[in-house]
A = this chain, B = another copy of it.
Amino acid sequence: MSNLIAVDAGGTSTRAVVLTPEGVCRGYAAAGSGNPISSGPDHAAREVAGAVRSALHHAGGGGADGTTVLAMAGARTHASTDWITAALREIGVEGRIVLESDLLATFCSGAWEPDGYAVVAGTGSAAIRVRDGRQDLSADGLGWLVGDDGSGFWIGRRVVRAVAAQLDRRGPDTELTPRLLAALDIPNDASAGPDGDGRPEALRLLLEAVYGLRPIELARFAPLVFAAGADPIAESIVADARTALHTTLSAIDTRSVRGPAVCGGSVLGVLGLSVHGLSGVTEVRTVPDGAVGAAVLALRDNGVPVDRDVFERTRDTLAALRATAS
């Protein structure tokens, strides 16, 4: 084994790491969405292979023949690696390709310990319990329509509905209204539109804009709740999101699995995780993504035990590479 390859393939961006079996990261590169479910297999394969090729190049060239790890959402239900095999072979990456859960990669990005929890809230939301280094129970991650409580979509939907309710006289005034209308380039004009139903033109334009999006894109309005200051509506959405994520983690929390809760995702990074009343969580750690964890999983899947030393070497050498890459 010379080079090992680890990929953290997300819905908006992908990170590829080239590392030695000792956990020294030697190459790093990022690319666009590498998730075959959300972006289509052809697009995802191009992005993943592109990131790996750049990372190999930065590592000084050469291929890789160990087990390659690809951490991504939906790894459990979409077990096939057919979509990516040929693209990796073409750039000299031989050997087995193993899919791992993005949540497990989040956990391993922040913990070398075998037991603990990971909680992610970005566009969606989910939590897992990790025992002996493997995911043994998960909670939520059920998607925008059925679950994803406290996620970016969940918050963004609440924002849109609160603003529409104000414009429709059904809900209280909120600071979210001028902010959402500005985000959508809609003039914040309360006068009635030409429709003749007595409602402001801004409401009609809001409906037109929102129904022109895919539902999941409402997640882009989540950050507005963090910028709205002391607005009671924004504050109640934030409080409810925090409670929802606490409930999700509570569902899998147990005294018999004690360890850190590793937090990931842009929304959770701002919300912060409450661990009040939980019995298994010993501390909270936050990571920017699953890149370190994908590298840790690549080491383990190649038979390398990852203790605290190896974990810290992997984490710190990757951080150094990323500092120069950006």
On chain B, the residues within 8 Å of A165 by CB distance are 147
Q: How far is the CB of A282 from chain B (nearest CB, A)?
A: 21
* Residues of chain A in range 68-105 having any CB-CB distance to chain B below 8 Å: 76-77
Flag if A164 contacts B135 (CB, 8 Å): no
Number of copies of this chain that the complex holds: 2
Q: Are A142 and B164 in contact (CB under 8 A)?
A: yes
Mark the stretch among A18-26, A190-198, A263-271 that contacts chain B.
A190-198
CB contact under 8 A between A169 and B252, given known A135-B197, A138-B199, A161-B146: yes
Check if B137 sits within 8 Å of A198, measured CB to CB.
Answer: yes
The reply to whether B251 and A169 contact each other, CB–CB distance below 8 Å, is yes
| A210 vs B144: C-alpha distance when bound (angstroms) | 11
What is the CB-to-nearest-CB distance from A255 to chain B, in angstroms, rounded to a whole number?
Answer: 16
- Once the chains bind, are B157 and A140 in contact (CB under 8 Å)? no
Q: Kindly list chain B residues whose C-beta atoms are within 8 Å of the C-beta of A128.
A: 197
- Taken together as a complex, chains A and B put the C-alpha atoms of A203 and B161 apart, in Å, by 28
A168 touches B137 (CB 8 A): no
Which residues of B are found within 8 Å of A161, using beta-carbon distances? 146-147
Across the interface, name the chain B residue whose C-beta is closest to A171.
B247
How far is it, in angstroms, between the C-alpha of A168 and the C-alpha of B215 when the chains are bound? 23
Q: Is A202 an interface residue (CB 8 A)?
A: no
> Given the complex, which residues of B lie within 8 Å of A252, measured CB to CB?
169
Q: Give the CA-CA distance A149 to B168 in the complex, in Å.
A: 12
Specify which chain B residues have a CB less than 8 angstroms from the CB of A77 in the assembled complex. 195
Q: Which of B170, B197, B218 contacts A247 (CB 8 A)?
A: B170
Taking the closest CB of chain B, its distance from the CB of A204, in whole angstroms, is 8
Contacts of A157 in B (CB 8 A): 145
Q: Is A219 an interface residue (CB 8 A)?
A: no
Given A143-B207, A157-B145, A206-B146: A198 and B136 interface contact (C-beta under 8 Å): yes
**A197 to B76, Cβ gap below 8 A?**
yes
Say yes or no: is A248 at the interface (Cβ < 8 Å to chain B). Answer: yes
A137 contacts which chain B residues (CB < 8 A)?
197-199
- Taking CB atoms, residues of chain B closer than 8 Å to A168 are 139-140, 142, 147, 251
Contact of A76 among B138, B142, B196, B248 (CB under 8 A): B196
Closest 7 CB pairs of A and B: A137-B198, A169-B251, A138-B197, A170-B251, A146-B164, A170-B247, A142-B164
Binding site for B on A (CB under 8 A): 76-77, 128, 135-140, 142-143, 145-147, 149, 157, 160-161, 164-165, 168-170, 195-199, 203, 206-207, 210-211, 215, 218, 247-248, 250-252
Supplied contacts A142-B168, A145-B211, A168-B251, 6 more A-B pairs, CB within 8 Å: A76-B195, A138-B198, A139-B168, A145-B218, A147-B161, A147-B164
Provide a sorted-by-A list of 21 A–B residue pairs whose CB atoms are within 8 angstroms. A77-B195, A135-B197, A136-B198, A137-B198, A137-B199, A138-B198, A139-B169, A140-B170, A142-B164, A142-B207, A143-B211, A145-B160, A145-B215, A146-B160, A146-B211, A147-B161, A147-B164, A147-B168, A168-B251, A169-B251, A170-B247
